[in-house]
Structure 1
Amino acid sequence: MSTIVVGMGMVIAMGSGSEPGERKEGQRARRPASVARPCASAAREECAGFFAANGISTPSTLFDTLSDTYCFAKNRAGQFVWGNRLLQEQHALADVKDILGKTDHDFFRRDIADRIRADDLAVMETGVTVKNKLEVIDGGNGELTWLFTTKAPIRNREGAIVGIEGFSRDARRSQDTIAPFHEFKACIEYVQEHLAENISIDHLAKLSCMSLSTFERKFKEHFSLTPKQYVLHMKVHEACRLLPGANSIARVALATGFGGQSYFTKQFRSIVGITPKQYQLALAAGRAGNAPSFHRKGNHVEAS
């Protein structure tokens, strides 16, 4: 059994590209569909009984009337135990109950789902509510989705944390929420379109019509990252998207503006916690049915 320690809110799991996939636990071999279906059915039944089993009231049906907010609840394993109708529509599910037992890895690209899972684990570990965290997600078609997410731990009748609940407001559907971030729209779009280049923070400040010091201060207030850190994270995020299908790590380094492979490897490891090659190997192991399972330890997420 091997262990991969991954920091900075990113973890490694099976799968690649933009297609969702089932998440396997531990070092289990791939099982025939006829064997897997009863297990999936049992998981859905367990998730359906989550609230009753923990002595918690089921979320109100009023959440189904929201037109700009995705509402959700998950157990400690990251499986959805509830979601509102907008969430169902977003993931093209025939019924709201179809989300039961699924995880974010069934709906998002692997690196994005891993990042969400790491955030969930942090909330459940600390018991601290996260309010209005800005998440910019690449939908895979070149369009960015801006979400303002709030998450809180779910406690059972004894007060033990048994899961996480929250909501994400889609800024595209609720323009009033994103108003304070409009001044950064031009620079964020510029970063997205010029990841292969050496991006100047001074130029980003000019795009936002601010002095460099004001831009850096206000940017960190809104995004909880300095502009330089944000650019680095976006470049690494793009590298995670490219690596699964890449034959050359050096080409990925060039495509994301890092230049040399050595510098790219150093920066990638500072964010993800492992090298680009180890990232590729972890994904390859997942596709072969040997994906690692995940748990949180200290300030890191570990895969074993």
Structure 2
Amino acid sequence: MHDSPPTLIDADELQALLDAVPDIVFFVKDHSGRYTHANLTLVRRLGLAKRADVVGRSVDEVFPPKLGSRYAAQDRRVLAGQRIHDQLEMHIFPNRVAGWCLTSKRPLISGERVVGLIGISRDLAQPDGRHPGYDRLRNVLDHLESHFDEPVRMQALADLAGLSLSQLERQFRRVFQLSPQQWLTRLRIEAAMQRLRGPDTIAAIGHACGFTDQSAFARQFKATVGITPRNYRKLHPLGSAEPT
């Protein structure tokens, strides 16, 4: 006698399962971008008391305006049929703690119509220093940290590790949860966030952090942090402390 195939987990069950996971934000939204499901991790990070404070509302209603508009634009892309996979983002929580995560979203389709979206954001953990490939990648990491402000060729990183490009990508993701390019972006954005608390111009900061021009810097910063460098500077005046 054969076992019957497992039934698909519905959104209510998935939400209940992920309520107990503190490093994953889970959500489902309808075709208008309103939350229908949100795990308790998301509720708490929004600084709200209960799930009912989130369900039925849009990102514009639960996030600060500049972040809400950015997330709403991302949702519109997904509701138009696009998938987002492991988008590197920085989230800033109500206690002003900043943390890196990877966000994935996909449309929910009924028949031939998009009826909503489902997504998760996973916090990035510390690199796995016990992984057998860690020591080999240490040279790559040191090189990126020393030269993030310069043009970096992925083939040069692979050569440094004695790996092919595909091997470098696979091993880097296993140890650091990011691709080498994502790690480079992270280093550049972190450096830019620190410099934006100083007196340098935004164009000078972008150049000093390895971006080809100010528009490329502004696009990448907004895609990663959620707001433009100019607006980030307004939120963090000259000499203010770095969120940790």
TM-score normalised by length of structure 2: 0.53
CA separation in 1, counterparts of 2:148 and 2:163? 23
Check 1:239–1:102 CA distance in 2 against 1; reply closer, same or farther (3 A cut): farther
Residue 17 of structure 2 is aligned with which of 47, 54, 63? 63
> Unmatched 5+ residue regions in structure 2?
1-9, 222-227, 236-244
The aligned counterpart of 1:94 is 49
Aligned to 1:249, which of 194, 197, 202?
202
The question of 1:123 aligning with 2:78 is answered yes
Matched, 1:138 2:90: yes
Q: Contact 2:46/2:62 (CA < 8 Å) preserved in 1?
A: no
Displacement of 1:135: 3.7
CA deviations 1:22-49 (Å, max 9, x no partner) are xxxxxxxxxxxxxxxxxxxxxxxxxxxx
Among 182, 206, 213, the residue aligned to 1:264: 213
Matches within 5 A, 1:1-304: 59-60=12-13, 62-63=16-17, 65-67=19-21, 68-100=23-55, 101-103=57-59, 106-107=62-63, 110=66, 114=70, 117-126=72-81, 133-139=85-91, 144-147=99-102, 149-155=103-109, 160-172=113-125, 187=140, 191=144, 195-197=148-150, 199=152, 201=154, 204-205=157-158, 209-211=161-163, 213-214=165-166, 218=170, 227=180, 231=184, 235=188, 248-258=201-211, 263-265=212-214, 267-268=216-217
Partner residue of 1:21?
none
Partners of 1:112 and 1:237 lie apart in 2 by 22
Deviates more, 1:80-89 or 1:101-110: 101-110
* Aligned residues: CA RMSD: 5.4
Q: Distance in 2 between matches of 1:215 and 1:250?
A: 36
Aligned to 2:4: none
Superposition deviation, residue 137 in structure 1: 3.0
SS at match of 2:29: strand
8 Å Cα contact 2:89-2:101 kept in structure 1? yes
Q: Is the 8 A contact 1:137 1:145 kept in 2?
A: yes
Deviations 1:114-138 (A, max 9, x none): 3x55553333222x666xx334333
Deviations 1:69-99 (A, max 9, x none): 3220123443433201122233332111222
SS of the residue aligned with 2:107? strand
- Closer, same or farther in 2 for the Cα pair 1:230/1:58, shift >3 Å? closer
* 185 and 96 in structure 1: CA distance in 2 versus 1, 3 angstrom threshold: farther
Task: Return 5+ residue gaps in structure 1 as ranges.
Answer: 1-56, 273-278, 288-304
Instruction: Answer yes or no: is the 8 Å Cα contact 1:76–1:162 preserved in 2.
Output: yes
Q: Which has the higher contact order (CA 8 A, sep 6+)?
A: 1
- Contact 1:124/1:161 (CA < 8 Å) preserved in 2? yes
Q: Secondary structure at the match of 1:94?
A: coil
How far apart in 1 are the matches of 2:194 and 2:33? 22
8 Å CA contact retained: 2:30, 2:116: yes
Amino acid aligned to 1:264: D
Identity of aligned residues (%): 21
TM-score normalized with structure 1 length: 0.45
The verdict on how the C-alpha distance between 1:74 and 1:269 changes in structure 2, with shifts beyond 3 A counting, is same
**Contact 1:155/1:162 (CA < 8 Å) preserved in 2?**
yes
Letter in 2 for 1:103: V
Q: Structure 1, residues 3-28: CA drift from partner, whole Å, max 9, x if none?
A: xxxxxxxxxxxxxxxxxxxxxxxxxx
Higher mean C-alpha displacement, 95-104 vs 189-198: 189-198
Pairwise CA distance, 1:228: 5.8
Question: Aligned equivalents of 1:152 and 1:180: distance in 2?
Answer: 33
Q: Alignment length, in residue pairs?
A: 207
Residues of 2 paired with 1:99 and 1:189: CA distance? 42
Deviation by residue 1:253-293 (Cα, 9 ceiling, x = unmatched): 343134xxxx4146448869xxxxxx678x69xx9xxxxxx
